Structures are given as structure tokens and as C-alpha cells.
Chain A
């Protein structure tokens, strides 16, 4: 059973639009949810993270919305830029193990 699921698998938006990437999870003991950004030819890099006691975390154009009751979270990228084109991984961490989703490939068209 996959612990962390992401949708959509791929997403294309126009420059300036808001991209919304979705994530859901199974393990109710997850207490941290990091999002990683990966560009081609590079390893993933931590982008933004939220703890399970918060319902929102904002960092510039990137915002995580967290719904603990529904076990869902989403990453909103406002004013999307072509440089945001990358694969985004959602993950869940229960202090014992981290589980990654399969990623959403985002393309931002100029």
C-alpha cells in the first residue's frame, strides 16, 4: 500500500497562473510533510515543509495547505514562473521513516 500519493502525475500551467499540486497519505502518525523540488540532472532539494500541528505554511510564492482530518495536503505555487518547471515530491515523516510520493511533473509555459 502506497503511503503517500500525489496527483496529478503531470501538470502544465501558464506563466503567472497558480499551480496546485495535491498529496494524500495513509499513516496518521506522520508529523512532518516536506515537499522536495527536483530539476533534471539534480537530486531533490527541500522546498518547504509543514508540521502536522499547522494547517498552512507559506514561503514566498509557495504555500502548503494541510487538512489533517482528510489526510490531504496541497502545494500552491502562485505566479508560476518557467523556472518552477520541475518535479515536486510530497513526503510524510513519522520520525521513524520517511515515505515519498511518486511526484508531480510541473511545466510552466511562458
Chain B
């Protein structure tokens, strides 16, 4: 089985641009998570979907970050407009329904905002 796929692996954006990150979860997984990872803040939850329904939207990330799950096998994370402080690794993970303890992570997208 294929693991979690994320594209692109690297992204460079100018301040103010809109970027869209993509994720394909493990086939058959119902739960999907978006995280931001930085050395200072560690792993921060951005969004959490269960069976395509948004369960948690990450509070502080609401204004410029929007995650969508268009179908059970594809999700996007839009950042609009980007700011230099958004530079980080964005990780997507999926799990079987209710099994948050056993998440499968993608390789991440490394975003640099200039």
C-alpha cells in the first residue's frame, strides 16, 4: 500500500502569494491531519478531518490557513496570503477512524516564504 503522499516537497513563495499544498492519505484511512513543524514550536495541529468533515481547525491558524478535503483520498492546505513566519515544514498524516495514536505521516512540504 502506498503511504501518505505530499506535493510539492519544496515550495518557495514571495510574501503575499497564495500557495496550495496537497496530500493523499493512506487508502482506507478516515482521519486526516495537517501539522506545521518548526524547531521553535514543534508540531502544531492545523486541521483535523474525520470522514471529510472538519473536526478541528487549529484555532490560531484560522485566518490565513484553510484546509479542505474534497474527497476521501485528497486534501489541500491553502495559505493565503503567505508571510515569512509561515516558513516551516507542513506535514500531512492519516489514520484509521479514531486511531489518532497510530498516524501515518507524509514526508512533508518544506515551505520558504521570502
Q: Is the CB of B107 within 8 A of A41?
A: yes
Q: A41-B107, A43-B4, A43-B93 given as contacts; is B43 within 8 A of A34 (CB)?
A: no
Residues of A within 8 Å of B102, CB to CB, are 34, 46, 49
In this complex, the interface size class of chain A, counting residues with CB under 8 Å from chain B, is 20 to 34
1/0 per residue, CB under 8 A from A, across B73-111: the answer is 000000000000000000101000010111111111000
Contact-residue size bin, chain B (C-beta under 8 Å from the other chain): 10 to 19
A residues 35-69 touching B (CB-CB < 8 Å): 36, 41-46, 49
Number of residue pairs A-B, CB distance < 8 angstroms: 42
Please name all residues of chain B whose beta carbon is closer than 8 Å to the beta carbon of A102 when the two chains form the complex. Answer: 42
- Contact indicator per residue, chain A 12-51, by CB within 8 Å of chain B (1) or not (0): 0000000000000000000011101000011111100100
With A43-B93, A100-B43, A102-B42 given, is the CB distance from A32 to B107 under 8 Å?
no
Extra contacts, 6 of them, besides A34-B101, A93-B101 (Cβ < 8 A), are A34-B102, A36-B105, A41-B107, A49-B101, A97-B56, A98-B101
B residues sitting closer than 8 Å to A (CB atoms) are 4, 42-43, 56, 91, 93, 98, 100-108
